[in-house]
Structure 1
Amino acid sequence: MMESNNSAINVDQLIKKIREEVAHRQPISERNLETIKVVSVNQTLTLSHIENLLHNAQLKSQIRTEFPKKLNRFPFSLSQPLQKLALKLYSFLFKEQRAINFSLIEAIRESLTLNRKLIDQVMDFQGQVMDLQGQVMNLQGQVKEISAYLTATEKHLNEQLQAMDEHYIKNDSYLKNDLTQQKRLITLFLEAARQRLPESFTVDQLQTLSNEEPHQLDAFYVAFEDQFRGSREEIRNTLNVYLPVIEDAKLGTPESPILDVGCGRGEWLELLRESGYSARGIDINRVMLEQCNTIGLEVIEADAIAYLQNLPDHSLGAVTGFHLIEHLQFAVLMKLFDETMRVLQPGGLIIFETPNPRNLFVGSGDFYRDPTHVNPIHPDTIAYIAILKGFMNAESYFFAEQDNGLQLLASSNVKFDTLESYLSISRDFALIGYKP
């Protein structure tokens, strides 16, 4: 029974100790058992051979009653009386030697009997040893199973701990962001109230407080994106596919900067900066903007349409938006195209990425996981709108895995003639178009 003040058991050290003990033990194999059996058989054969030798020696130590047959031939042949006399003389001369030989033979025979009993006892002991070895082998198998179970348990615990850590980190981040927004709103309210006391709020002050209401969900949406959109690294790897498009268009210089509308956590802006392009982003989510500011990205809190309306004509090289247009009402979407066409320089381009409703999983339900989505947009529809608004070479592109990585695949080259084609098509697509 463990005392209450004992130190906590270190599971990692215990598992390591068991593994080392199993590794250092010499395994007992079937070959070891067979070797024991062969040794026992060899010992039995040796005793039988000794008994045969003793029997032969005993026969030769007895008194001779006949003259050796080989001495009955010429020139050793003797008459019967001489043979008897020779046998009596031989027996008399070697009488003591026969006695000694007989005693030695009896002693060896007794020793042989004792050895046989000892061998029987040893074989019985070996049988017990073999039984114990079988038990040890069984225990070794159990130890291996326990070791495997401990390994699996350790892995499972580590995975659970990692999942719990990620869960608590996400919750902690959400709570901190949400508290920051609530604190900002309360501070703003208290400051406005302090300035007006003892008078009531003015219309402008009430409007300022009202404008803060949409930001109450900023922290929630950041946590939602972290859960379902994917990690920053995953998004960066996907967005890499657009860098050749920017490079081919010769855009992203200080004279033809890139504007990322709805920049979110700033993965695209970060990629553009690392590639040496001039870019800035706008968003209305303050928590995401704060994340962008933390890594030194140029971002502004602004509504997309209002910001574009305040820009001069031909002031941008490209306008991009990733998972933005599905959040817009149709009338707002049309305004986005109008203002984008106006602010782009000749040869400028647009890139708008959005969920692909032609993918059966997205169109049948996954699109509606995000409560801020308005409507899915068909690839043909958005391409038609772009062309109608004056963009050239406007086409929707799906994503395709190739040997050299992710590639853009023009929608005009894709046929939807089987169920598999609707299941395997990429979950997102992008509209790319150019201003004449």
Structure 2
Amino acid sequence: MGARTGAGPMADGGIGAAYDAVAELYADLFRGELARKEAELAAIRQLVAGPAVAVRGLPVGDLGCGPGEATALLAGLGVRAFGLDLSAGMLAQARRDRPRLPFLRGTLAALPLADGSLGAILARYSLIHLSPPELPGALAELHRVLAPGGLLLTGFFAADPALGDTDRPTPFDHKVATAHRWPVDTLAALLRQAGFTENARTLRPPLPGERFPQATLLCAA
């Protein structure tokens, strides 16, 4: 199967439009925030050190790239990086600030990418707005576009037992669009069902200014 370029309208339940409305404010508000998170930066360096990228030279997709800060970080690590986002407004910010990097519009439900074409995927807080029934299909898409042995790093809001969270995802009032806190084990199980093998995980309490615990999962296709 080749690239999915004819997947039809991007019916996203208004998520793209919601981010369009705040794109400039979002880009300004979160500018530089990733550079202060050393544990996450270490995980990103581990992501691009995999043989599909470091040896075979396959590209890295920043899927759900927003204004492209992580895309630029990936490119700065010497890999072929590109960004993809559902929001045209976010992509406009990314192209304005990083004109030398490639950015394209697309949805995680039907990625406009060929099978096995990527060496790694960074999906940083881009799965959180999918409803639980939608997530398995998106994970299958991520697995489809990764080369064998390629790596996926996903960052997300983790479940918080102090808030009464259980082993199920919990919706919450994200400032842009409804999102979900995911129990790490529950999301890890869905990744296994999609064909991934977990390599590493992190879980930390919220930093000042954050509302919930934060987690990452690093998995191989």
Q: TM-score, normalised by structure 1?
A: 0.40
Question: How far apart, CA to CA, are the structure 2 residues paired with 1:428 and 1:305?
Answer: 24
- Other-structure match for 2:218: 432
Aligned partner letter, 1:306: A
| Higher percent of residues as helix | 1
Change (3 A) 1:260 1:226: closer
Instruction: Give 3-state SS (helix, strand or coil) of 1:292's partner.
Output: helix
Letter in 2 for 1:234: E
Residue 141 (structure 2) pairs with residue 339 (structure 1): yes
Residue pair 1:387, 1:394 contacting (<8 A) in 2 also: no
354-363 or 276-285, which deviates more: 354-363
Per-residue displacement from partner, 1:76-118 (whole Å, max 9, x unpaired)?
Answer: xxxxxxxxxxxxxxxxxxxxxxxxxxxxxxxxxxxxxxxxxxx
- C-alpha distance 350-247 of structure 1, shift in aligned 2 (>3 A): closer
Deviation (angstroms), 1:243: 3.1
Residue ranges of structure 2 left out of the alignment (5+ in a row): 1-7, 206-211
Counterparts in 2 of 1:123-134, with a 5 A limit?
A: none
SS of equivalent to 1:350: strand
**Does the 8 A contact of 1:236 with 1:267 survive in 2?**
no
Query: Equivalent residue for 1:375?
Result: 180
Question: How is 1:416-427 mapped onto 2 (pairs within 5 angstroms)?
Answer: 427=213
Q: Distance in 2 between matches of 1:359 and 1:234?
A: 26
Match of 1:130 in 2: none
Listed one character per residue, the Cα deviations across residues 38-67 of structure 1 (whole Å, up to 9, x for unaligned) are xxxxxxxxxxxxxxxxxxxxxxxxxxxxxx
Find the residue that maps to 2:32 and give its secondary structure.
helix
Write the distance in 1 (CA, Å) between the matches of 2:69 and 2:164: 23
CA shift, 1:367, in A, is: 4.4
Paired residues of 1:355 and 1:367 also in contact (CA < 8 A): no
Structure 1: 5+ residue stretches without partners: 1-206, 401-425
Match of 1:265 in 2: 67
1:391 maps onto 2:190 in alignment: no
Aligned pair partner of 1:313 in 106, 115, 118? 115
Correspondence for 1:274 among 70, 76, 80:
76
Structure 2 CA distance for partners of 1:258 and 1:358, relative to 1, 3 Å: same
2:153 alignment partner in structure 1: 351
Report the Cα distance in structure 2 between the residues aligned to 1:431 and 1:226, rounded to whole angstroms.
25
Matches within 5 A, 1:184-223: 216-222=17-23
After superposition, give the CA deviation of every residue in 1:298-346 in whole Å (9 maximum; x if it has no partner). 1101222222xx4332211112211111100223211111122222112
Which amino acid is 1:233 matched to?
Answer: G
| Residues 31-430 of structure 1: pairs in structure 2 closer than 5 A | 216-222=17-23, 225=26, 231-238=30-37, 239-252=40-53, 255-294=57-96, 295-296=98-99, 297-307=101-111, 310-358=112-160, 360=162, 367-399=172-204, 427-430=213-216
- Larger RCO, structure (CA 8 Å, separation 6 or more): 2
Greater C-alpha radius of gyration: 1
Q: Is the 8 A contact 1:281 1:300 kept in 2?
A: yes
1:234 is displaced (CA, Å) by: 1.7
Q: What code does the residue aligned with 1:289 have?
A: L
Is the 1:251–1:317 contact (alpha carbons within 8 Å) kept by the matching residues of 2?
Answer: yes
The SS at the match of 1:259 is: strand
Contact 2:27–2:93 (Cα < 8 Å) also in 1: no
What amino acid is aligned across from residue 242 of structure 1 in structure 2? A
Say what the alpha-carbon RMSD is for the aligned residues.
3.6
- Flag the 1:283–1:375 CA change in 2: closer, same or farther, 3 A: same
Identity %: 22
- Compute the displacement of 1:379 (Å): 0.5
Q: Secondary structure at the match of 1:331?
A: coil
Alpha-carbon distance between aligned partners in 1 of 2:193 and 2:131, rounded to the nearest angstrom: 18
Measured in 1, the distance between the counterparts of 2:134 and 2:199 equals 20
- Checking the alignment, whether the CA contact within 8 Å between 1:398 and 1:430 is kept in structure 2 is yes
1:53 aligns to what? none
1:218 Cα deviation (Å)?
Answer: 3.7
Q: Which amino acid aligns with 2:34?
A: I
For the 8 Å contact 1:282–1:304, the answer to whether it is kept is no
For 1:230-254, what per-residue CA distance to the aligned partner results, in whole angstroms no more than 9, with x for missing partners? 5321223324232331243134467
Query: Could you say which structure has the higher strand fraction?
Result: 2
Q: 1:320 to 1:216 in 2, by over 3 A?
A: closer
Q: Distance in 2 between matches of 1:433 and 1:286?
A: 29
Q: Structure 1's 217 and 392: CA in aligned 2 closer, same or farther, altered over 3 A? A: closer
Distance 1:362 1:223 in 2: 35
